[in-house]
Amino acid sequence: MIEVEGLTRTFGSGENAVHAVDGVSFTVPRGQLCAVVGRSGSGKTTLLNLIGGLDKPDAGRISVDGRQLAGPGRSLGEKELAALRRDLFGFVFQSFALIPILSAAENVGIPMRLRKTPVAQREERVELLLNMVGLGDHMKQRPGEMSGGQQQRVALARALANSPRVLIADEPTGQLDSETG
C-alpha cells in the first residue's frame, strides 16, 4: 500500500517559487493500478520521484508497505532508503536512463547485479524479460543502436528485473507504437 499525506515540494523561493506538488494526499491499495494525469509541467514526474524515494518532500508523509520514506519521524536512513528503492521499486524513467556503453542485456541486468543475483539466474531472467518485451534478438545492441521505442522497452525490462512490488513508470508508453507497444 502507498500512502501519501499532505505532500509538498517547491523548487526555488520567493517570487520564483514553483509549487510542483502542493498538499497532495491519496492512498493506493496493494494490487491497484494508479495513473497520474495532468498537463505538462503539472508536477507528475516530481510526484513519482517523491513516491519512489528519489527526491525528498518539503512537507508531508510518504509510506510504502508500512515503511515511512519521508515525513516526521522517518524511520529509514539513506542506506536503507537505497536498499528499499532497489528491492521494492522498479522505475521506468521518462528519458529511459539507460547506460549508453552497455548492451540491452547489461542494462537490464543492473538491478540484479546490485542485488547480487547469481550470474546464471541473472542471465536467464534478462533473456526472459527481453523476450517478453519483444527484444530477445537485440540483447547485444547498445541504446544508441535502438529506436526510442526499443529503448523504452529495455527500460521496462530493467524495471521488472527484480520483480518489484511497486512499478513507477513515467510516461511508459510515450515512445511506443500501437504494434509493438
Domain end marker among 16, 48, 76: 76
| pLDDT tens profile 11-30 | 999 999 999 999 999 999 99
Q: Does the pLDDT value for residue 143 go beyond 80?
A: yes
Same-domain check for residues 134 and 56: no
Q: Is 47 helix (H, G, I), strand (E, B) or coil?
A: helix
Q: Does the pLDDT value for residue 152 go beyond 90?
A: yes
Range of the domain at 16: 2-76
- How many structural domains are present in the chain? 2
Give percent above pLDDT 90 in the chain. Answer: 77
Same-domain check for residues 26 and 100: no
Q: What is the CA radius of gyration of the chain?
A: 17
Same-domain check for residues 53 and 92: no
User: How many Cα neighbours within 13 Å face the side chain of 47?
Assistant: 26
Q: Does the pLDDT value for residue 164 go beyond 60?
A: yes
**Cα–Cα distance, 55 to 145 (Å, whole number):** 31
| pLDDT tens profile 41-52 | 899 999 999 999
Same-domain check for residues 72 and 112: no
3-state secondary structure 116-131: CCCHHHHHHHHHHHHH
**Cα–Cα distance, 109 to 123 (Å, whole number):** 8
In this prediction, residue 66 has a pLDDT band, given cuts at 50, 70 and 90, of: confident
In this prediction, residue 65 has a pLDDT band, given cuts at 50, 70 and 90, of: confident
Same-domain check for residues 178 and 95: yes
Same-domain check for residues 70 and 115: no
Domain end marker among 38, 54, 76: 76
Strand 2-11 to strand 89-92: parallel, antiparallel, or no bridges (unpaired)? unpaired
Same-domain check for residues 57 and 95: no
- The pLDDT of 30-46, averaged and rounded, is 92
Encoded amino acid at 113, one letter: R
Q: Does the pLDDT value for residue 165 go beyond 60?
A: yes
Q: Is 146 helix (H, G, I), strand (E, B) or coil?
A: coil
Angle between helix 119-132 and helix 104-114 axes, rounded to 10 deg: 130
Same-domain check for residues 40 and 114: no
The CATH code of the domain that includes 146 is: 3.40.50.300
Domain end marker among 38, 57, 76: 76
Same-domain check for residues 90 and 173: yes
Strand 89-92 to strand 166-169: parallel, antiparallel, or no bridges (unpaired)? parallel
